[in-house]
Every structure is written in structure tokens, then in C-alpha cells.
Structure 1
Amino acid sequence: MKSVIRTGKTVDEAVSQALEVLNTTKEKAKIEILEEPKSGLFGFIGSKDAVVRVSIPEEKSEVSEIIEEVFSNGTKEKAKEISEPVAEKVQEVEEKTEEFHQEKIEKVASESDEEIAVNLLNDILSGMDIKADLDVVKTESGIEIEIKNADDRDIGIIIGRRGETLDAIQYLVNLAQNKSVEEYTRVVIDINSYRKKREESLIRLAQKTAERAKRYKRNMRLEPMNPYERRIIHSALQKVNGVSTMSEGEEPYRRVIIKFNRK
């Protein structure tokens, strides 16, 4: 039996979540209510979510179903003569398949965090028909990968408009890196120190725009930026007297407003 345990504000909500995970329907599943939901005092103090266990039987392989059907026929002895060699062959194939799966599992398990990220990044660059070297450094905060020795044209392609392509590559690597692990590992991907240069440029922009806001005594709106770049602006002006910052708008057009603080 394959089963999952899920919680929800109601039993139906918890069951729906479990059915979605198992990719099945109520009719095909066995549902056990482990804990009924409780509203608690005033509707929230001491309240408890519903807890359910939803199970489904493991699907039999097509070969197993055929063999079972053969054995269930009236001519059991004759069927046994025919099916025994087949069953032996099936057993042999299953054993080899299990060995292969185990090798794959051990290989993935033996890969370090750096190898997982590097292998995926190499695949992405290969898919973009880009040749480059990768310099990998493991830090306390995660993994830093510097893309080096790429052609000038390829550097522009990897970075993209305002770093959008580089951010997309980094997002994909982080997504795959942390898909099946308990502890999150942040992967930062850079090329020719683009992020460091961009950060320095944004800090200068923030300081210059803050001075303009104070000189003209009005708010200043910056161009739309991604969350990473907006954080740099907010951080750069956090302790600057006379101005404050806020973000407005919806992604991908969200921007930072540098506000003049009137006394």
C-alpha cells in the first residue's frame, strides 16, 4: 500500500491534498481520519487541524497481472508449465532492473551539492551551445559558481537584458538543487563578476538618487528591478538620513521609490 498523511482545516481539505499527491480519486483510495478538526476557543485558541491518512494499493505490473490470470485458469498445471520459465525470466529482469536502480540511487546520493549544481549548469550551457569553464566555491551561505572563459558574444547571451537570463539560469539551478533535500542550499551563479559590478552600480545609483530626492525635496522613482536588485537599493539607503524607501507595482514592473522625508 502507498499512503500519505495530510492536514487541513477540514477533513475534506486534508483528503483533497492527499488525493492530489497520490494522483487518484476518492473511489480508488482508502481514507482514515486520524484526528478530527477542532475549532477551539473563539474559533482559534487551541484549534487543531484535521489529520487524515489516504492509501492506495500498489499497482501490479502488466506481466504480474498476466501471470496471475494464467494461474487462475482451470488448467492450472498446464499453465504452470508454460508460465514457470516466463516467471523465471521476469524475475531475472526485475533483479537486473533493481540493480540498475540501486546504482542510480547510489550515484545520486554520492554526488555532492557542488556536483549536482555544476552538472545541471553544464547541461543548461550545453543546451545553449555555449562553451565555458566553471569555478565553484562552497561557502557558509551556500555555493558560488563563476562562469569563466566564455566568448564575448556568449557572455552577453548568458547575462541577458538587465541580467534576466542569468537570473533565470540561477533560479532553475536552485530549483533543481533543493527539490529533494531538507536543508536549503543557496546557489549563486555569476559570470565575469557581473553581479558584483551590478551591485556596485546599483549602490552608486541609490546614493545619487537619494541626494537628488533631498535636493529637490521630492520622491524619486527608479526603473523596474527584480527582487534581488531592489534589496540592494533598500539596504544601501537603510541608514541614510532624510530619505526612506518602498517598493510599488506588480512583477515584473515592480520598482523602488526613494521618498523624501519631510520634517
Structure 2
Amino acid sequence: MEDWIRSVEVEAPTVEEAIDRALEQLGRSRDEVEVEVISEPRKKLFGGQPARVRVREKFRSKEEGFRRIVQHIFDLMKIPVPFQLDTSDGDFRILIEPGHDAGMVIGKYGQTADALEHILWKIAKSQFDHKGRVFIEVGGYRERQQEKLRRHIQQSIRYVLDTGRWVALEPLT
């Protein structure tokens, strides 16, 4: 399984040589990576210390990076769901068709989807400086739940108006 972001640490006699070796390992060019020099080479009487660099591939776009992160998280959860990423309105919308183990993404009462949205929002904000929100939409689940909630509230209002009695409702989330 490939990680969501590939990076390598390489040692070589010089910084440039270490970078070249890392680029070769990643199969990338210099403009497709970020280079961090961990330590400069040091010459000593009996040997010395080689240069050490960490080279991390850059994403072509934040959408590509986010898509790879989502896929990596689904892989870690062992949920094989195909998805599409919609960014047309400035938000990240992860669209999952019903079936394909989509229920595992929703979880009990939508709690798994809510937790995933929060985690992915934190990642998008920290890794890509994303200002929008993150939504997971699984085959219209949220719309159906909102409609069910509206019907329940309307029934409760009718009951209160008809009987004059009060009704206790669960938190409306």
C-alpha cells in the first residue's frame, strides 16, 4: 500500500548527491519535490558524517493531494469505496454512491461520516491551507435524514398544538 505522501531520507557525501539519489528513488524531477536538508556533511580526521536530506513529493494540486489522503484513510479503514471529489463550490465534497460498503462510511447514526469529515477537514486545513468545509455525501443519506427529522418535528408541533401537552425531543443534530 502506498502512503498518501511519498518521501525518502538519503545520505550521501554531498547534499547535491543526496538530493539526486532521492530524486532517482522517487522517480521525480527537482520541481516536483520539496527538499529538507537534515544535516550538512562534516569532514573529520577519520572519516566524517555524510549529508542527509529528506525529499518529499509535492502534489500537482491540493485536490490531488486531498484525494490521495482520502483514499489512504479509506484503505487504512479497509473500506473499498470508489469516490469522486467535487471542489466546484470551494468545499471538498466526497461523493460516494450507495452500495460498495458505503454503510461503513456512514456508521451508526452517521457518526463515522461526521468523524471522518472532521478529521479530513483538519488535514485539509493544515496540509493545504483549505478555507472551506469538508462533506461526505453517501447516496443522499444526509438529505434523507434531514427530511426524516423535518417530518418528526412537524409531527411533534402538530401534537403539541392539538393536545396542548409538551413534547421532549432528542438533540437535533
* Contact residue 143 and residue 187 of structure 1 kept, 8 A: yes
Note if 1:159 corresponds to 2:106.
yes
Calculate the aligned-residue CA RMSD, in Å.
2.7
Distance 1:197 1:214, change over 3 A: same
Q: Deviations over 1:223-256 (max 9, x none)?
A: 245xxx3xxxxxxxxxxxxxxxxxxxxxxxxxxx
- CA–CA distance in structure 2, aligned partners of residues 160 and 121 of structure 1: 17
SS of aligned partner of 1:130: coil
Q: CA deviation at 1:174?
A: 0.8
TM-score by length of 2: 0.65
Q: Which residue of 2 aligns with 1:111?
A: 61
- CA–CA distance in structure 2, aligned partners of residues 224 and 157 of structure 1: 24
How many residues are aligned here?
136
Q: CA deviation at 1:126?
A: 1.1
Q: Which residue of 2 aligns with 1:127?
A: 76
Note if 1:143 corresponds to 2:92.
yes
Q: Which residue of 2 aligns with 1:220?
A: 167
Identity rate, percent: 23
Superposition map of 1:1-263 within 5 A: 79=45, 82-83=46-47, 86=48, 90=50, 93-94=51-52, 97=53, 100-101=55-56, 104=57, 107-108=58-59, 110-112=60-62, 114-148=63-97, 150-151=99-100, 154-180=101-127, 182=129, 184-225=131-172, 229=173
Q: Deviations over 1:188-230 (max 9, x none)?
A: 10111111111111111122212212222233222245xxx3x
Distance 1:192 1:111, change over 3 A: same
SS of aligned partner of 2:126: coil
SS of aligned partner of 1:145: strand
Greater shift, 170-179 or 208-217, is seen at: 208-217
Q: Note the residue ranges of structure 1 that are not aligned, 5 or more in a row.
A: 1-59, 71-78, 230-263
TM-score by length of 1: 0.45
Q: CA deviation at 1:140?
A: 2.5
SS of aligned partner of 1:223: coil
Higher relative contact order (CA 8 A, sep 6+): 2
Letter in 2 for 1:111: S
Q: Relative to total residues, which structure has the larger helix share, 1 or 2?
A: 1
Letter in 2 for 1:123: H
Distance 1:118 1:213, change over 3 A: farther
Q: CA deviation at 1:137?
A: 1.6
Q: Deviations over 1:31-56 (max 9, x none)?
A: xxxxxxxxxxxxxxxxxxxxxxxxxx
